[in-house]
Amino acid sequence: EVQLVESGGGLVQPGKSLRLSCAASGFIFDDFAMHWVRHSPGKGLEWVSSISWNSGSVYYADSVKGRFTISRDNAKNSLYLQMNSLRPEDAAFYYCAKDSAPHPGYSNTWGSWGQGTLVTVSS
């Protein structure tokens, strides 16, 4: 059974940093692209970032480009999101999701999601 477990969320002041992790199990992690999506009440789901199976291709939403960095460690079956210069509008539940293909954009089929980790940005 595919399992994705996010961690690392919490309360952080504006301008500070946070690193989210997503521990994957139940599938061959390095066969698939992975994604981060966030959800804040009143704003809906928002795609944040994506990474190919071998980290060769990464994508970011304009709203986080230059501040967030996605990465993965296939040896540890883990996905990461380094979030710097956090803003109040970055506050949300952050979900990791598994693609059905090795490269983002091949399928846009994100069949497994974690339960999310909450990021709160406030002074």
Partner 1 sequence: QSALTQPASVSGSPGQSITISCTGTISDIGSYDLVSWYQHHAGKAPKLLIYEVIKRPSGISDRFSGSKSGNTASLTISGLQAEDEADYYCSSYAGITTYVVFGGGTKLAVL
Q: For binding to partner 1 (CB under 8 A), which residues are involved?
A: 37, 39, 41, 44-47, 50, 59, 93, 95, 97, 100, 104-105, 107-111, 113-116
Q: Rank residues 13 and 42 by Cβ distance to partner 1 and give the closer one.
A: 42
* Closest distance to partner 1 from the beta carbon of 69 (Å): 16
* Closest distance to partner 1 from the beta carbon of 38 (Å): 10
Q: Rank residues 5 and 84 by Cβ distance to partner 1 and give the closer one.
A: 5
Q: Which run of H or E residues covers position 12?
A: strand 10-12
Rounded distance between C-alpha atoms, residue 109 and residue 50, angstroms = 13
Residue corresponding to tokens 């296939």: 74
Residue corresponding to tokens 């059974």: 1
* Closest distance to partner 1 from the beta carbon of 86 (Å): 21
Rounded distance between C-alpha atoms, residue 31 and residue 74, angstroms = 9
Strand, coil or helix: 107: coil
What are the respective helix, strand and coil percentages of the chain, to the nearest 5? 5, 50, 40
User: Which two structure tokens, joined as six digits, stand for 109?
Assistant: 């089929």
Q: Rank residues 14 and 103 by Cβ distance to partner 1 and give the closer one.
A: 103
Q: Rank residues 62 and 123 by Cβ distance to partner 1 and give the closer one.
A: 62
* Closest distance to partner 1 from the beta carbon of 11 (Å): 18
